[in-house]
Chains A and B, each alone.
Chain A
């Protein structure tokens, strides 16, 4: 039986009220148009990570995003997310943001190609309306411009 995280999060977050989880108000399903082997793939992470040279995520309700180069050799990754589980992923961000593994799958032909960038934003935000109306469409537009076929969200 899978571990129940919501009671632990409520306890660790007290005395703040428990987190409110929200489903999308609009349909989120869309058809897959290409086989994975022909798809351009991007990672989406809510770890608020970035290259060390990029602007930090600072406020806890930061609604900005970063385009992180997909080249695993592009530079050091820093995780700005405030979560208490951050000690381990900060040792190796690849366990939440597998840039190197995705590049390897492109070389093997498991995916078509890697997007030139991946997208990072702050998870755990409580401004749900702005996420749905502003942040998500802005990220979607970036992915569309980069002709990404498949966006793979990895929640932090």
Chain B
């Protein structure tokens, strides 16, 4: 599994999971960023031989903002809450 929601991934014990610290709905990057798509996929696949048991989650430490900022969390929260009822 390649996922962005770490709290959910921890509760469902997938056999092999890679956490990508991107906003939900963008695990492979921003729209039309093919280099990022490929980089995330490559790093996730590289983790495959390292798993030893079910429920293990590995983090290749991708950052959504180059400076490591987390402004995106507030924007995403607003986006998710504004979509209520859709």
Interface set of A (CB-CB < 8 Å, partner B): 2-6, 8-9, 11-13, 21-24, 27-30, 32, 35-36, 41, 82-89, 91-92, 94-96, 98, 100-102, 104-105, 110-111, 150, 152-156
Contacts and interface: CB of A to CB of B under 8 A. Distances in A.
Given A2-B21, A83-B25, A85-B80, A105 B41 contact: yes
Interface string B8-40: 100111110001010111111111111001101
Interface string B73-86: 10011011111101
Interface residues of B, number: 49
B1 A155 contact: yes
Nearest to B72: A3
B80 A8 contact: yes
Contact of B84 (A12, A41, A91, A92): A12
Contacts of A95: 25-31, 33, 37
Given A84-B82, A85-B24, A102-B41, 5 more contacts: A3-B73, A29-B15, A35-B49, A88-B26, A155-B1
Interface of B: 1-3, 5-8, 11-15, 19, 21, 23-34, 37-38, 40-42, 44-46, 48-49, 53-54, 70, 73, 76-77, 79-84, 86
Given A21-B11, A28-B13, A89 B25 contact: yes
Given A23-B12, A153-B14, A105 B45 contact: yes
Contacts of B21: 2
Given A8-B81, A28-B14, A85-B80, A101 B25 contact: no
